[in-house]
Structure 1
Amino acid sequence: MDLPITFIQRTRPLLGEEWEDFKKSLEEPSPVSIRLNSKKIDVNTCIEEGVAWCSKGFYLPKRPQFTFDPLLHAGCYYVQEASSMFISQILKQYIGNEAVKVLDLCAAPGGKSTLIADAISNESLLVSNEVIRSRANILSENLAKWGFPNVVVTNNDPADFAKLEGFFDVVLVDAPCSGEGMFRKDAGAINEWSEANVKLCKERQQRILRDVWPSLKAGGLIIYSTCTYNLDENEQNVQWISEELDAEALPVDIEPDWGVNPSLMNGIPAYRFFPHKIKGEGFFCAVLRKTGEDNPKTRKFKPAKEKPSKTTLSAEARDYIKDKENHIYYQNKDSWYAFNKSLYPDVQYLKSALHIISEGVCLGEYKGKDFIPNQSLAMSQLLDKGAFPICELSWEQAISYLRKEALMLDNQPKGYILLTYKDMPLGFVKNIGNRANNLYPQEWRIRSADIPREEVRVI
């Protein structure tokens, strides 16, 4: 691997005698790891090697054709780099089962958001944001598949969150960075690297942190992470947060045999992942607590006005979800949604300040007298599977469905049918007798025609 000379000059002194081991590790294949959705899959059934700092993370011996595993599309697991799963250790130590409001500020494509969703309580709220609209749509898709019901996906600049003063208990800033930790996974990252870009990233990271800071309540936690090695974007920024934004850096419990490297600056608790010491990519992480007090004069937004519903949601549609007594049903444009009653005022508050891409569980919409169930409902952890006739698919049928091809279903009633694969919901069809209309979202479909001859099994 041809590393930039300036990168070598900057990084070699940080590693000292470990430099050659580090350089050699960049020539090795990247490990493949996944994280299971514990709300859908029993993590104890996985027999693969576990990720030491994340009980739901596992390494695979080789990289399968993930695209052709229906369980990936069902949200049973997420393909995530192992080092970044360290965020779960922070949440476990400092949040536990508390009911919290969490913002994942730079969330696309969704790995850390799905991790947060799996780690926080059912009474917690997750706001996942992405500033680039096309990436926000991908984020929304991945979170819908994960099925956590108390989530709102937004498409906003970090500065927009300043209006939500003192709203969040936890803010994760997985900051856009120079990407040094991705060198062996992405050759393009090497070509794009420069000292000038490191400086630009550091300044952008500080702007992002300053912009979002007012939205974090006093005593709340900010988790700051990058996938880079240099001091500029890492420890120096942690020091900047402490001094400029008035925060206290906190320690995280780690085990010696994990291979996690301590901070490279004295007096700053932070955690570094080097590929020659751990089974994963380059990663940096620190957690800080906001000191001071909240402003008692914080301006409150009035809830966004909702237009009167054009229709009434039927009792049958209300029964599509479990725990329906604790959820509120409402119409947004043509679709009907369900959201946790206790958290719904927060959703209204968010709508006053932010651009919402998706929220809660979209149940479906009426077309004439027909209520068409939405894909979000099929993926949701709240889905009551008993509300629909169920048709279990073979692997071949599941791939056809996920490619949005026509299906023929034998011995099935007419109407809306929930399709499953290995008992996991994949989505809906409308059976009209001689054929079934495929309702899988067009933008989610498998586009690749390189279908393997044998069933792909990952877990």
Structure 2
Amino acid sequence: MNLSPEFIERTRNLLGEKEMDAFLKALDTDSPVSIRMNRTKCAEVPEQSKRVPWSGSGYYLESRPTFTFDPLFHAGCYYVQEASSMIIEQAIRQYVKEPAVMLDLCAAPGGKSTLARSVLHEDSILIANEVMKNRSQVLAENLIKWGDPNVIVTNNDPSDFSSLGNVFDVILTDVPCSGEGMFRKDPVAVEEWSLENVDLCWQRQRRIIRDIWPCLKPGGLLVYSTCTYNREENEDNVAWIAKELGAEILPIEVDSGWNITGNLTGTDFPVYRFLPHHTIGEGLFMAVLRKSGEMDDEEVVERKLKKEKKGKNNKSAAPVATCPKEAKSWVQSPELYSWCLENNEVVAFPLAYQSLYEKAKQSLRILHAGITVAELKGRDFVPNHSLAMTVAKNKEAFEQAELTYEQAIAYLRKEAVVLDSTVSKGYVMLTYKQVPLGFVKNIGNRANNLYPQEWRIRSGYLPDRLIFPLG
């Protein structure tokens, strides 16, 4: 690895001579492969794996599977996520006990968003945002596949959220950084590193935090993270947030056996560093901060009322006439959602957060929200792929057809699929190993493939050896 002399000198000053030797040696080893299971879809444990100790559902794999050709990967049964970044789970579990409104500000490709949605209280709502348009599409795809309906995906600049006011209980800022922690995985990060870029990054990070800070409620939680090593983007920025914005830096409980490194700048506030010669994972930095002030009594009462309303009908929902009754039957507990027809799509959104959704639609570019249940094509309402992926679907609403591996790959390539003659005509939910993959419209001699064109497997070949984490 051809590291910049400036990077080596600066990192040696940070770590010390002895630590630096071990650090450089670790950078020359292979990068570990890890995944995190989606327990709402799959209870299996990956074969030949070891637990990521700070994650309830993360696993190290012995080798890199052929993810692209695994139907269960496309079905959202697991997410390929770097192990170090799973530490975000500990911050959420230890400090967020009640239903919360959370923003993942720099969310693409979706690892931390899917993790957050898995560990937040089930009645929480998550807004996952990405400012880059092409990356925001990937974010939407991954969250749709994860299948939780309490999600909004947006494509906005941090400053765009100011119109919402201080609505967030938790804001995760995995800010764009110089990427030093990704040197083992990304040769481009090594080539593009420069001191000038580090300076640009820490200044940009402060602008991002300053822009989003007013959107955090008094008493709310800010989780700050980077995938870099230098102090300017890490401890120095955390100290700046505490001093300039009046935040309290919070500790989290970590096991000493995890070998997480603390503050390297001689200051005494708690931060959490992942260094490759100490922990099995890539470089990561995290700090947890609380905004000064407390949630007011009126807000506490409002949350209590929302919780009491859960499961009851609400007359503020969209008029029944805008959505077909049949489509409502495709979702479990349809009374828990507001229903509307937007841009020829039937959208079901969690009723408890309808006011936030309406406010967000006025100022944010929303790519996905709740469950896109169906699309109006001519006079027909066609079930949407989002419905197949959501864990809130009514599985009894459609006939199901189990596919072989070869059929599943053909379907994911958006090729024609021929079903058994015993399968009824009409819309059919296809499954692989009993996990939903998507819909087809069965017309008898063939089935029209409804898998999203932009998500299809583009490779026309299969590797000689297929390795899957779940066998």
Residue by residue over 1:165-206, the C-alpha shift from the partner in whole angstroms, topping out at 9 and shown as x without a partner, is 210000000000000000010010011000000000000000
Residue by residue over 1:105-154, the C-alpha shift from the partner in whole angstroms, topping out at 9 and shown as x without a partner, is 00011110000111112211100001111111111010000001010011
Asked if the contact 1:48–1:60 (Cα under 8 Å) also holds between the matched residues in 2, the reply is yes
Asked if the contact 1:103–1:171 (Cα under 8 Å) also holds between the matched residues in 2, the reply is yes
Residues 8-87 of structure 1 mapped to structure 2, 5 A cutoff: 8-16=8-16, 17-42=18-43, 48-87=49-88
Asked whether 1:363 is paired with 2:370, we answer no
Normalising by structure 2, report the TM-score.
0.92
Mapped partners of 1:37, 1:198: distance in 2? 35
- Which residue in the other structure is 2:447 paired with? 436
Mapped partners of 2:93, 2:236: distance in 1? 26
Asked if the contact 1:164–1:214 (Cα under 8 Å) also holds between the matched residues in 2, the reply is no
Specify which of 429, 449, 458 is matched with residue 460 of structure 2. 449
Q: Name the SS of the counterpart of 1:426 in structure 2.
A: strand
Q: CA deviation at 1:162?
A: 1.8
Specify which of 399, 413, 416 is matched with residue 427 of structure 2. 416
Q: Name the SS of the counterpart of 1:185 in structure 2.
A: coil
Residues 1:453 and 1:309: Cα distance change in structure 2 (over 3 Å)? farther
The gaps in structure 2 that reach 5 residues or longer are: 298-315
Q: CA deviation at 1:348?
A: 0.7
Asked whether 1:341 is paired with 2:348, we answer no
Q: CA deviation at 1:351?
A: 1.2
Normalising by structure 1, report the TM-score.
0.95
Residues 1:46 and 1:343: Cα distance change in structure 2 (over 3 Å)? farther
Mapped partners of 1:360, 1:240: distance in 2? 36
Asked whether 1:236 is paired with 2:236, we answer yes
Mapped partners of 1:40, 1:10: distance in 2? 45
Mapped partners of 2:432, 2:464: distance in 1? 18
- Which residue in the other structure is 1:166 paired with? 166
Q: CA deviation at 1:456?
A: 4.2
Q: CA deviation at 1:346?
A: 1.2
Asked if the contact 1:378–1:428 (Cα under 8 Å) also holds between the matched residues in 2, the reply is yes
Q: CA deviation at 1:353?
A: 2.1
- Which residue in the other structure is 1:302 paired with? none
Asked if the contact 1:25–1:276 (Cα under 8 Å) also holds between the matched residues in 2, the reply is yes
Mapped partners of 2:78, 2:69: distance in 1? 13
Mapped partners of 1:151, 1:108: distance in 2? 14
Asked if the contact 2:426–2:442 (Cα under 8 Å) also holds between the matched residues in 1, the reply is yes
Q: CA deviation at 1:368?
A: 3.1
Asked if the contact 2:31–2:281 (Cα under 8 Å) also holds between the matched residues in 1, the reply is yes
**142-151 or 158-167: bigger deviation:** 158-167
Residue by residue over 1:424-446, the C-alpha shift from the partner in whole angstroms, topping out at 9 and shown as x without a partner, is 10000001111100000000000
Q: CA deviation at 1:292?
A: 3.5
Mapped partners of 2:106, 2:44: distance in 1? 27
Asked if the contact 2:31–2:185 (Cα under 8 Å) also holds between the matched residues in 1, the reply is yes
Mapped partners of 2:130, 2:5: distance in 1? 34
Residues 387-426 of structure 1 mapped to structure 2, 5 A cutoff: 387-411=397-421, 412-426=423-437
- Which residue in the other structure is 2:149 paired with? 149
Code of the residue aligned with 1:274 in structure 2: it is L
- Which residue in the other structure is 1:198 paired with? 198
Residues 1:456 and 1:420: Cα distance change in structure 2 (over 3 Å)? farther
- Which residue in the other structure is 2:313 paired with? none
Q: Name the SS of the counterpart of 2:352 in structure 1.
A: coil
Mapped partners of 2:406, 2:328: distance in 1? 33
Asked whether 1:323 is paired with 2:330, we answer no
Asked if the contact 1:238–1:268 (Cα under 8 Å) also holds between the matched residues in 2, the reply is no
Residue by residue over 1:261-287, the C-alpha shift from the partner in whole angstroms, topping out at 9 and shown as x without a partner, is 011132221000000101100000000
Code of the residue aligned with 2:289 in structure 1: it is L
Paired residue total: 450
Mapped partners of 1:456, 1:314: distance in 2? 43
Q: CA deviation at 1:339?
A: 1.3
Q: CA deviation at 1:314?
A: 2.4
- Which residue in the other structure is 1:372 paired with? 382
The gaps in structure 1 that reach 5 residues or longer are: 297-305
Residues 132-147 of structure 1 mapped to structure 2, 5 A cutoff: 132-147=132-147
Q: Name the SS of the counterpart of 1:231 in structure 2.
A: coil
Asked if the contact 1:322–1:383 (Cα under 8 Å) also holds between the matched residues in 2, the reply is yes
Q: CA deviation at 1:309?
A: 7.8
Q: CA deviation at 1:47?
A: 5.9
Asked if the contact 2:46–2:59 (Cα under 8 Å) also holds between the matched residues in 1, the reply is no
- Which residue in the other structure is 2:118 paired with? 118
Asked if the contact 2:320–2:339 (Cα under 8 Å) also holds between the matched residues in 1, the reply is no
Mapped partners of 1:251, 1:365: distance in 2? 47
